[in-house]
Amino acid sequence: MTSGLSRSKGAPYPPLELAQRVCCLNGRGDPYPAYERLGAEAKAALVQMLPPDWSFDGKRVLDFGCGAGRTLRHFLDEARRAEFWGADIDAASIDWLGHSLAPPLHAVRNRTDPPLGLDYGSFDLIWALSVFTHLTDSSHAWLLELHKLLRPGGLLIATYMGRWNGAIFTDEPWDEDRVGMNVLRPEQGWEVGGPVVLMSDWWVRAHWGRAFEILRVESQVHGQTWALLRKRDVELTPDELARPSDDEREYAALRHNLRQVERDRHRALAQLRHQYESSLSWRLTRPLRTGAQLARSASARLRQRAPGA
Ligand SMILES: C[S@@+](CC[C@H](N)C(=O)[O-])C[C@H]1O[C@@H](n2cnc3c(N)ncnc32)[C@H](O)[C@@H]1O
């Protein structure tokens, strides 16, 4: 453990499959120390993003998309002086969190789409780490749901994949001019990380900026872009949040996203074909396919030799 990082002081760890669900722990040595370190790094980054006069005392805080509490487990001390909630769609993660770390934490399972079911205007601080990085059709509705859950002037810390790590997910260098909110691998299941959503800073300012004042945007830990936002006193619909801005990069980004999705589709099909062709049944039936091919050639030759052919 790097010095200066928090420790979750004897809190139990979730089963490995729940820990692995929120990040790949392979290649990081012992999985639980790695899980501990990643959570502690997230806490340190959150604290660093908050205003210098911030205090958790008496606050109501929500970790949206908390998994089994990788980050929340580092706030058990603060949870004696403040109310900490974790929400996630994953039943197993929320069940584990509810049984193992509540109290002092509070855990709630939400559905794929809003509402979350907690009181509007009641949270001082919400964070969503590596969540908008994967939300596609429900992204705008969830951002506005978090907006409603915040008190007037409440703070949101959200991470997104952008200029610091976007190139990892595409076969091309990061180019801010052709990324707005670009969705890759839209059909990819959560067991392999879910869809990948890239966002550029100009797009976040143009769209999220309608609902929030953008106070800070910076590189923190885990390769993502971290944004600190303050709730604006507005009421918006998801369509109003999605409406393209005057920035001409909006259309370049949409066109480029189509190219990216098409490229992904070709890659996925090639992969499937390769898997299929190297599968046992494909290899076992190869003599039959060869035989059929020989028979077709022989009968074509016979037809050519036949009188009048
Ligand atoms: C990459 S993990 C990050 C987990 C956690 N924030 C962390 O940093 O350890 C993304 C999490 O978002 C959750 N998630 C995805 N869609 C969600 C939704 N609509 N509402 C709540 N959670 C969601 C997933 O179940 C998963 O636990």
Tokens for 26?
A: 């392979």
Structural domains counted in the chain = 1
> If you take atom 11 of ligand 1, which residue's CA is the nearest one?
65
User: Which of 89, 129, 146, 169 has the most ligand 1 atoms within 8 A of CB, as the residue to mutate?
Assistant: 89
What's the pLDDT score for residue 308? Answer: 56
Q: In this structure, what CATH number is given to the domain that contains residue 93?
A: 3.40.50.150
Range of the domain at 30: 16-250
User: Which of 37, 63, 85, 88 has the most ligand 1 atoms within 8 A of CB, as the residue to mutate?
Assistant: 88
Model confidence at 53: pLDDT above 70: yes
* Mean pLDDT of the 141-153 span: 98
Give yes or no for a contact between 21 and 93, defined as CB atoms under 8 angstroms apart: yes
State the greatest distance between any 2 C-alpha atoms of the chain, in Å, as a whole number. Answer: 98
Tokens for 300?
A: 């074509």
147 domain residue, yes or no: yes
- CB contact burial 32-67 (16+ within 10 A = b; e otherwise): eebbbbbbbbbbbbbeebbeeeeebeebbbbbbbbb
The set of residues, in sequence order, having a beta carbon less than 8 Å from that of 284 and lying 6+ positions away, is none
Give yes or no for a contact between 127 and 46, defined as CB atoms under 8 angstroms apart: yes
Q: Please work out whether the CB of residue 161 comes within 6 Å of at least one atom of ligand 1.
A: no
* Mean pLDDT of the 88-98 span: 96
**Helix, strand and coil percent figures for the chain, each rounded to 5:** 45, 20, 40
pLDDT tens for each residue of 280-306:
676 777 778 788 888 888 888 888 877
In 3D space, the residue among 265, 143, 100, 117 whose CA is nearest the CA of residue 108 turns out to be 117
297 domain residue, yes or no: no
118 domain residue, yes or no: yes
* Amino acid at site 92: A
Judging by beta carbons within 10 Å of its beta carbon (0-12, 13-18, 19+), is residue 175 exposed, middle or buried? Answer: middle
Spacing, Cα 66 to ligand 1 middle (Å)? 6
The neighbour count for residue 68, using CB atoms within 10 Å, is 27
Cα separation, 174 vs 79, whole angstroms: 40
Cα separation, 39 vs 6, whole angstroms: 9
* Mean pLDDT of the 183-189 span: 83
**What is the pTM assigned to this prediction?**
0.85
pLDDT band for 150, please (50, 70, 90 cuts).
very high
Comparing 250 with 293, which gets the higher pLDDT? 250
> If you take atom 23 of ligand 1, which residue's CA is the nearest one?
65
Comparing 261 with 23, which gets the higher pLDDT? 261
pLDDT band for 1, please (50, 70, 90 cuts).
very low
141 domain residue, yes or no: yes
Main-chain phi, psi angles of 190, to 5 degrees: -65, -30
Q: Please work out whether the CB of residue 14 comes within 6 Å of at least one atom of ligand 1.
A: no
198 domain residue, yes or no: yes
282 domain residue, yes or no: no
pLDDT tens for each residue of 63-91:
999 999 999 999 999 999 999 999 999 99
Cα separation, 242 vs 235, whole angstroms: 14
55 domain residue, yes or no: yes
Question: What percent of the chain has a predicted confidence (pLDDT) above 70?
Answer: 95
Q: Relative to the CA of 113, which ligand 1 atom is closest?
A: 19
Helices assigned H by DSSP within the chain: 16-22, 31-49, 91-100, 139-149, 201-207, 238-242, 249-277, 280-284, 286-305
Comparing 26 with 112, which gets the higher pLDDT? 112
* Mean pLDDT of the 54-58 span: 96
221 domain residue, yes or no: yes
